[in-house]
Amino acid sequence: MKKWFWGFTLVLSMIALAACGGGPTGGPAAETPANETDAAANEDGAPALASELSVYNWADYIDEQILADYEDKYGVKIIYDTYASNEDLLAKLQAGATGYDVIFPSDYMVSQMVELGLLAEIDTADIPNFGNIGADFVNAPFDPGNQHCVPYQWGTTGLAYRAGNAYFEENTPDSWAYLFEPELLQEYSSAGINVLNDQRELLGAALFYLGYSPNTQSEDELIQARDLILQAKPYWKTFNGEDYDDTLMVPDEVVFSHAWSGDAASAYWNTYDEAAEDGSWRYVVPQEGAVKYLDNICIPAASQRYETALHFINYLLEPEVGAAITNFTYYASPNTAATPFVSPDILEDPSIYPPAEVQAKLQFLEDVGDAIFTYDEMWTAIRGQ
């Protein structure tokens, strides 16, 4: 098996309860009647599907037509809700929400959730389309043997900037300094800067800039990262990782954003001018290094519709469906069988499928154990001031 996707994590060093929708102490569980669990198998052995399935995903991370198609084809009503960060998802599950059947945590959050007993075990033999996933993406260190999750989409985190802005016409923001150094920030902050409202991502960016690991467990390094962020914060207009591409980047409410690769590409295509044959947004992975992530499809341990959830996961891994996801989100697909159906514009876009020299600068966020409490403390100080 090829190891390039995981290998960089090992060898390269260069480089609240605010979830959307639902109530603060539970998701749709409270409304889930007992008769909505999976029905017994049909006579032919195929599992009978539940009448409903509750899917909880990142904002803007699937074309909802894909959900409608599943409903039409299989007669299962999808209850769909979204969240803005891994920590929001975790907080929701830890608060006792038991109604979700399919969730999409990132790499490090899979580790945390397995540790906390929040994920159901799966057997990939029960998901025929699992074979569509490329060898580079299976058996990840955060979920050996894919015992809990299957890969969904992957991407990078970097800096997006508006091409027409006079400052960025002269300066390519290829360093995290453009997000953290006041003498640079003062040049374009009046035109609007957004940062991802995501604690591991923002602290990770600061740690990369300071030359530390984005997975550090050192309190001293995390304090330095916090202080760097607090020094830059007055120059930032918004903390938004949810709908920033549509509400801030496309309408020109900001000219610079800490951004996930797919969202930056989405802003590019949503500002695309046919006559100019160009969009308004550019994306760069900073030279100090940056985060790469693999988001996953998993079933919460508390799900009462396990068989239906497995059936839905298998549907998401169909080649045409996998391609439709990427053609909508602009994130890279680990589904090799989907490749022939993915738009060539996406397949050839180096900001979505980065070249080797950029790959070499990327690292995964990892479970940091008990140091997560220090991350939480730093984040509270950052968001509270």
Binding site for ligand SPD (CB under 6 A): 58-61, 106, 201, 260, 263, 293, 295, 365
Best CA proximity match to 105, nearest among 274, 297, 363, 289: 297
63 or 181: CB nearest ligand SPD: 63
> In angstroms, what is the minimal distance from the CB of 107 to ligand SPD?
7
201 or 288: CB nearest ligand SPD: 201
Cα gap 290→205, rounded to integer Å: 7
122-129 contacts: CB < 8 A, separation 24 or more?
122/146, 122/147, 122/148, 122/149, 122/150, 122/298, 122/299, 122/310, 124/150, 126/310, 127/310, 127/313, 127/314, 127/317, 128/314, 129/314, 129/315, 129/317, 129/318, 129/337
Give the three-class secondary structure for 281: strand
Q: What are phi and psi of 102, to 5 degrees?
A: -140, 130
> In angstroms, what is the minimal distance from the CB of 62 to ligand SPD?
9
> In angstroms, what is the minimal distance from the CB of 75 to ligand SPD?
28
Residue labelled with tokens 């341990």: 301
185 or 286: CB nearest ligand SPD: 286
Q: Give the count of alpha carbons within 13 A of 346, CB side only.
A: 24
81 or 263: CB nearest ligand SPD: 263
Cα gap 161→283, rounded to integer Å: 7
Q: Which amino acid is at 348?
A: E
> In angstroms, what is the minimal distance from the CB of 260 to ligand SPD?
5
76 or 102: CB nearest ligand SPD: 102
54 or 156: CB nearest ligand SPD: 156
